[in-house]
Chain A
Amino acid sequence: MPILEVNNLTKIYESGMIIRRYIEAVKNVSFSIEEGEIVSLVGESGSGKTTTANIILRFLKPTSGEVIVDGRDIWKDINTFEDLKEYRKKVHAVFQDPFSSYNSFYPVDRVLYQALELLGKNPKASESKDLIEESLVSVGLEPKHILGKYPHQLSGGEKQRLMIARCWLIRPKLIIADEPVSMIDASTRGGIIKLFEKLREEEKTSILFITHDMGLAYYISDKILIMYLGEIVEQGTPEEIISNPKHEYTKNLIESIPTLYKKWS
């Protein structure tokens, strides 16, 4: 059974009180993710990939279609606050902007205490402190250097690692990683990518990796979905997509990507 199943998802934005306008952000999107699989959703700005993420995270209600996580429809089968909390334990996210991922009024470790609370653990218990330190170490952060600090005192890479530490605590079945490294310096990106891979290896976490960077998608994923103007126009293994793109859009996209080892003609 796939961990995530998206069936015929459509999101139409409506606006205007008298004259109504409609924008189709996501059109009839279907895909699935198996346990321990990393699937990349690749698209340029405005392609609808973030809207898709927001729907899966249950922040946005789709106009039609269904999202099934671990066998349960996230709109029909979640009715109580407790159901929702259960769902939150299963699906987590890492976002693009490490700076706006932290509320500047609180120390950065708040994100970890929040995770413990979600799990129903007493954040003040000594066991909690151990869990937090353990999670920090597992993402390569020095607890002394992080605990009690405010967001502006950490680098973007450290903040993103801390987000993954949060995932280590929650151990969700699915992580929606929405451009998690696009605002991180290239030389530190790799470390974060490896942390996602480690999560997948050790915890069998499935990851929906949303990105505009075909190189990253090629490197990290088991399967790539190409999204264009709200639709998934092509999907396949990284090798299939890169060496044998079928859709015009994908062909053009791959041709435009600057390569390192070969120069453009």
Chain B
Amino acid sequence: MWLAMFRPLFKSKKFLVSILVFIFIVLLGLVGPIVYPVDPTGYAGPFERPPSREFPLGTDTYGGDLLAKVLNGTRTSLYIGFLTAVISMSIGIIIGPISAIKGGIVDEVLMSFTNIVLTIPNILLAILIATYLKVRSAEVIALLLGVLGWPWFARAVRSQLLSLINREYVKLSRMAGYSDLRLAFEDLIPGIATYAFMSFILFINGGILGEAGLSLIGLGPTKGVSLGLVLQWAVLMEAVRRGIWWWFVPPGVIIVALTSSLLMITTAMDEVFNPRLREK
């Protein structure tokens, strides 16, 4: 059944192209640092060299090897994105269903809370919190972004579940003596699975872009390398105005390629699975 469901996805050109791009970048991040084992934080050679055979992406002001930085940075950014997504999703997948299933006052309280977090400008809040944290590991950044990112998902899960719970097949399963837990696993979760998967992808994007933004104003991870940190140093060292394009172009290209390929994957999935968007 699942296989048959996903088959039409592989007919979508958009899906195929974007998944290839995504896999390529994931490989860059996972395998790259192994294939190209240069210390991303170390001193590699001459300053501010344009790309050459020796330094495929050139070097920065401190003689750091930019290819090594970009490969390791990709890895960190992916890690942060993934972790952010896990955190946001976990919160959303707890709050949304509780709100939908419990209903009543529980629902109203949880949804008010969700709406408040939704309306608080979360980027600003992330900046503010990050300011007070002296040590910011990649995990802390992900936690910060993850904790602020879940409300829209919780709301969507709640409303989808509400429509599922009132479906007649759910009532029929209950009439067959299903426990709430069994009902959730057999009838409810499959119904929101594709949506949750698509949201997970969007959360990854949020994490990657959020990290880059925080890093750029000096609030990124305090150790290690990330794509955002590479950009931050490029800005601090005036790389843009001094024409050192190899410093700030590659990390940006990777961010955009990564996040837009992920977004395209979700769009392609939506076109296949959402009957209202399916081409006639």
- B-contacting residues of A (Cβ < 8 Å)? 17, 57, 59, 81, 84-85, 88, 92-93, 95-97, 100-103, 105-106, 111, 114-115, 117-118, 150
- Contact flag A95-B177 (CB < 8 Å), given A17-B108, A103-B187, A103-B190: no
**Cα separation A115 to B174 with both chains bound (whole Å):** 11
At the interface, yes or no: B171 with Cβ under 8 Å from chain A? yes
- A-contacting residues of B (Cβ < 8 Å)? 1, 105, 108-109, 112, 167-169, 171-179, 186-187, 190-191
The answer to whether B174 and A118 touch across the interface, beta carbons within 8 angstroms, is no
Q: A150 — which chain B residues lie within 8 A by C-beta?
A: 1
The answer to whether A101 and B172 touch across the interface, beta carbons within 8 angstroms, is yes
Q: B1 — which chain A residues lie within 8 A by C-beta?
A: 105-106, 150
Q: A17 — which chain B residues lie within 8 A by C-beta?
A: 105, 108-109, 112
Q: B191 — which chain A residues lie within 8 A by C-beta?
A: 103, 105
The answer to whether A117 and B177 touch across the interface, beta carbons within 8 angstroms, is yes
Q: A59 — which chain B residues lie within 8 A by C-beta?
A: 171, 174
The distance from the CB of A208 to the nearest CB of chain B, in whole angstroms, is 14
29 A-B residue pairs with CB within 8 Å: A17-B108, A57-B171, A57-B175, A59-B171, A84-B177, A88-B175, A88-B177, A93-B172, A95-B168, A95-B171, A96-B168, A97-B168, A100-B167, A100-B168, A101-B168, A101-B169, A103-B167, A103-B190, A103-B191, A105-B190, A105-B191, A111-B172, A114-B172, A114-B173, A114-B176, A115-B176, A117-B177, A118-B177, A150-B1
The answer to whether A93 and B175 touch across the interface, beta carbons within 8 angstroms, is yes
Q: B112 — which chain A residues lie within 8 A by C-beta?
A: 17
Q: A84 — which chain B residues lie within 8 A by C-beta?
A: 177
**Cα separation A84 to B186 with both chains bound (whole Å):** 20
**Cα separation A101 to B186 with both chains bound (whole Å):** 15
- Contact flag A81-B179 (CB < 8 Å), given A103-B187, A105-B1: yes
**Cα separation A111 to B1 with both chains bound (whole Å):** 17
Question: Which chain B residue has the least Cβ–Cβ distance from A81?
Answer: B179
**Cα separation A117 to B112 with both chains bound (whole Å):** 40
Q: A85 — which chain B residues lie within 8 A by C-beta?
A: 177
In the complex, which of the residues A101, A106, A117 contacts B176, with contact meaning CB atoms closer than 8 Å? A117
**Cα separation A81 to B1 with both chains bound (whole Å):** 32
Q: A93 — which chain B residues lie within 8 A by C-beta?
A: 171-172, 175
B112, B175, B191 pick with most chain A CB within 10 angstroms: B175
**Cα separation A106 to B190 with both chains bound (whole Å):** 10
Q: B172 — which chain A residues lie within 8 A by C-beta?
A: 93, 95, 101, 111, 114
In the complex, which of the residues A92, A100, A115 contacts B169, with contact meaning CB atoms closer than 8 Å? A100
Question: Which chain B residue has the least Cβ–Cβ distance from A101?
Answer: B168
Q: A118 — which chain B residues lie within 8 A by C-beta?
A: 176-177
**Cα separation A117 to B173 with both chains bound (whole Å):** 11
The answer to whether A102 and B177 touch across the interface, beta carbons within 8 angstroms, is no
B109, B169, B179 pick with most chain A CB within 10 angstroms: B169
Q: A92 — which chain B residues lie within 8 A by C-beta?
A: 175
